[in-house]
Amino acid sequence: MLAVLLPSLLLAEGPREADVEAAYLFDFGKFMQAPVHASSEFRIGIMGRNPFGGTLDKLTARETLDGRPMRVVRVGSIEEARLCDILFVGESEGSGVDHIISTLTGSPVLTVSRIPGFLQRGGMIQFVVVQNHVRFEVNLAAAKDSHIQLSSELLRVAAQVVDEQPGGGQR
């Protein structure tokens, strides 16, 4: 059964995965709790190449989360990334992932990527395609290290939940 969230996502085969990921990215905010951020905005940062086109911008336009207006920002530096609530790491950043993650550790930023092995390298959520279906995997330990609480609801629908420190050490 192919269940879909939004009719607009049915438009074409090509952009479908990216659109679904954009929607998930937007929804993750509803299932997480992080220490109070300095910024009054709920920022979703995109580091590296943007695979969503304008979809994410459209989704977040005029949306608020817990009273904070949502905003999609292009992130060029680690410092900028630190100000985001959710950071999507583009596939173009493949080599710099370790640096980004280690720098952000301890900051309440939910890191999301589709880069393979993202979780093993200390990332928090990784998009995967299971049976032609966009799903995601979660690294609970990484989230905890950054004081981000992920809702059990979110974990329930995760394709896989791992709970390990970067480098493969079990906690």
Partner 1 sequence: MKKSALASPSISWKLMRMNVLVSAIALILASVSFLAYDSWSFRQNILHSLGTEAEIIGSNSISALTFDDADAAGTTLSALRSSPHVVSALILTPDGQPFASYLRDSHSPHVIPAALTGGASIQDWRRGDDLLLASRIQFRGKVLGTVYIQSDTTEIKDRIRRYALIAGAILFVCLLSALVLTSSMRRVIADPITALAAVAQTVSREKDYSIRAGASQESDEIGVLVQSFNEMLAQIQQRDGALIESQDALEQRIEERTAELQSANRELEAFSYSVAHDLRGPLDSVGNIVFLVAQADLSGVDDHTREMLTTLPAVTSRMSGLIDDLLNLSRSKSTTLHLEPLDLSRMAGEIFRDLSLAEPDRVVQVEISPGLFAIADEGLARVVLANLLGNAWKYSAHANPARIEFGTFLQGKESVFYVRDNGAGFDPRLKSRLFQPFQRLHAQSDFVGTGIGLATVARIVERHGGRIWADGEIGKGASFYFTLS
Q: Which residues bind partner 1 (CB under 8 A)?
A: 1, 3-5, 7, 20, 24, 27, 30-31, 133-136, 151, 153-154, 156-157
Q: Which of residues 104 and 134 has its CB atom nearest to partner 1 in the complex? A: 134
Token representation of residue 37 = 């951020």
Nearer to partner 1, 82 or 135 (CB): 135
**Residue number with CB closer to partner 1 (99 or 133):** 133
Q: Of the two residues 127 and 166, which places its CB atom closer to partner 1 in the complex?
A: 127
Least distance (Å) between residue 68 CB and partner 1: 13
Please state the closest distance from residue 48 (CB atom) to partner 1, in A: 24
Q: CB of 155: closest distance to partner 1 in angstroms?
A: 9
Q: 40, 46, 87: which is closest to 66 by C-alpha?
A: 40
- Minimum distance from CB of 111 to partner 1 (Å)? 18
